[in-house]
Amino acid sequence: MFTAGNRLKLTIFGSSHGPYIGGILDGLPAGVNIDMDYINKWLDRRRPGINSITTQRKESDRIEFISGLKEFYTDGSPLGFIFRNEDYINKHYDYIRDNPRPGHADITMYYKYGEYRNYEGGGFFSGRMTLPLVAAGSIAMHILKNINISIVSYIKSAGGFNIQNENISDEDYSYSFRTRMPDPDLDDKLYNKILEIIKDGDSLGGIIKTIAYNIPPGIGEPFFDSVEGTIAHLMFSIPGLKGIEFGAGFKLGSMSGSQANDTFYYDGDKIKTRTNNSGGILGGITNGMPLEFSVVMKPTSSIRKKQETVNLKTHQPSEIQVIGRHDPFITLRAVPVVQALTGFAILDLIMSDSSQKKWDIFNRGDGN
């Protein structure tokens, strides 16, 4: 399905080489201020063609609201928005149609949709479908500021380089680095590594870390609508995202209980933990510590190196060297997507809270 969310629902539509891409965000009450500058800042961070280590496809990615908005305030009906696709080149996909790229969804769209498959630009499997995710997510992030929630994402590991400084609390900080690895020395090293990879006709994977601050304790539900389940469900809509871990994640598998347990203490009247191996979640519910998780992005599958494939018409072996414009390092472009989608997840969890706490989340000044 193309719809996600519980009380806050997002439907996305369109495809990479169709005329439009867009979304419908349903569930916001009337009177929520929609800040265009804030949304545009996040759309620009996701936009293709922003430097020499991203795809050279050039899109303006300006949002056009088509419903639900009156003079920058929601009117309580579904918020509909579209983006025009401006720079697509179908001929790059002529060969790919019958010679599927290893690692992309060309083969699975052939199995599922056959002759009706929307293959140009990866169709609706394209990374471009993350555009409405960022639009909706940035709206959610802006609302979350009413209760001082801020969300930080950055590249923690890629190309053999790993960030040591884990104390990043500014949601804009990683965007002052070309690679979004927030360390001046590692940023240079990773940038040069990506340039080498491009020369080589290859690509690179990476890991994105996310930390959400000031999360109130008690949101999330036991079992199926846990914080982990909600976040993972949304994150796996990001094309190329292949894994997620919360807190210490897979490292817990080599720890003892006494190492893994986050012990409690009082900080004034707040209960905190000395460590945060649980990533701020216990029993699927937030415990008031920062919400922390990491995701892994695979290396881009569309590479210029020659690779083995098959011809779907002749049923013979064939070869492919992908031409066209591709991201050598999708991790960089996925940073604002992960960050904004985290905002969507947290807002939906708060709006869906079964304990019916009266969150002053929308700050509409009418006592709601």
Ligand X SMILES: C=C(O[C@@H]1CC(C(=O)O)=C[C@@H](OP(=O)(O)O)[C@H]1O)C(=O)O
Ligand Y SMILES: Cc1cc2nc3c(=O)[nH]c(=O)nc-3n(C[C@H](O)[C@H](O)[C@H](O)COP(=O)(O)O)c2cc1C
- Choosing from 4, 96, 109, 128, the residue that interacts with ligand X (CB under 6 A) is 128
* Closer to ligand X by Cβ: residue 5 or 127: 127
Encoded amino acid at 188, one letter: D
Query: Half-sphere exposure of 285 toward its Cβ, with a 13 Å CA cutoff?
Result: 12
Find which of ligand X, ligand Y, none residue 132 binds, CB within 5 to 8 Å per kind.
none
Find the shortest distance in angstroms from Cβ 304 to ligand X: 13
Nearest to 246 by CA among 345, 105, 104: 345
300 binds ligand Y (CB under 6 A): yes
Find the shortest distance in angstroms from Cβ 204 to ligand Y: 12
Binding mask 19-48 for ligand X (x = CB under 6 A): -----------------------------x
Segment near ligand Y (CB under 6 A); pick from 166-174, 192-200, 238-246, 274-282: 238-246
Find the shortest distance in angstroms from Cβ 101 to ligand Y: 7
Quick one: DSSP state of residue 338?
H
The DSSP line for 269-316 is TEEEES--TTTTEETTEE-SSPEEEEEEEPPPS--SS-EEEE-TTT--
Binding mask 200-239 for ligand X (x = CB under 6 A): ---------------------------------------x
Find the shortest distance in angstroms from Cβ 318 to ligand X: 20
* Closer to ligand Y by Cβ: residue 17 or 333: 333
Find which of ligand Y, ligand X, none residue 334 binds, CB within 5 to 8 Å per kind.
ligand Y
Residue at token pair 């620009």: 44
Question: Which bin fits 308, alpha (ψ -120 to 50), beta or left (φ > 0)?
Answer: beta
- Choosing from 84, 325, 352, 363, the residue that interacts with ligand X (CB under 6 A) is 325
Cβ–Cβ under 8 Å, residues 302 and 240: no
Structure tokens, 85: 């696709």
CA distances from 358 to 350, 351, 352 (A): 10, 10, 11
- Choosing from 150, 210, 302, 339, the residue that interacts with ligand Y (CB under 6 A) is 302
122 binds ligand Y (CB under 6 A): yes
State the Cα angle at 233 between 224 and 62, rounded to 5°.
140
84 binds ligand X (CB under 6 A): no
Give the H or E element holding residue 151.
strand 150-158
127 binds ligand X (CB under 6 A): yes
126 binds ligand X (CB under 6 A): yes
- The Cα 318–Cα 30 span in angstroms is 56
Q: Does 300 carry a binding-site annotation?
A: yes
Binding mask 307-336 for ligand Y (x = CB under 6 A): -------------------xx--x--xx--
Alpha-helix runs per DSSP H in the chain = 36-46, 106-113, 130-144, 184-199, 227-235, 257-260, 330-351
In DSSP terms, 161 is beta-bridged to 158
The site that binds ligand X (CB under 6 A) totals a number of residues, namely: 16
Kindly provide the b/e burial profile for residues 230-259, where b requires at least 16 CB atoms within 10 angstroms of the residue's own CB. Answer: bbbebbebbbbbeebbbbbeeeeeeeeeee
123 binds ligand X (CB under 6 A): no
Quick one: DSSP state of residue 208?
E
Segment near ligand X (CB under 6 A); pick from 53-61, 180-188, 254-262, 283-291: 53-61
Task: Summarize the annotated binding site for NADP(+) as residue ranges.
Answer: 46
Binding site for ligand X (CB under 6 A): 16, 48, 55, 57, 59, 88, 92, 121-122, 126-128, 239, 324-326
Binding site for ligand Y (CB under 6 A): 55, 104-105, 122, 125-127, 130, 238-240, 298, 300-302, 326-327, 330, 333-334, 337
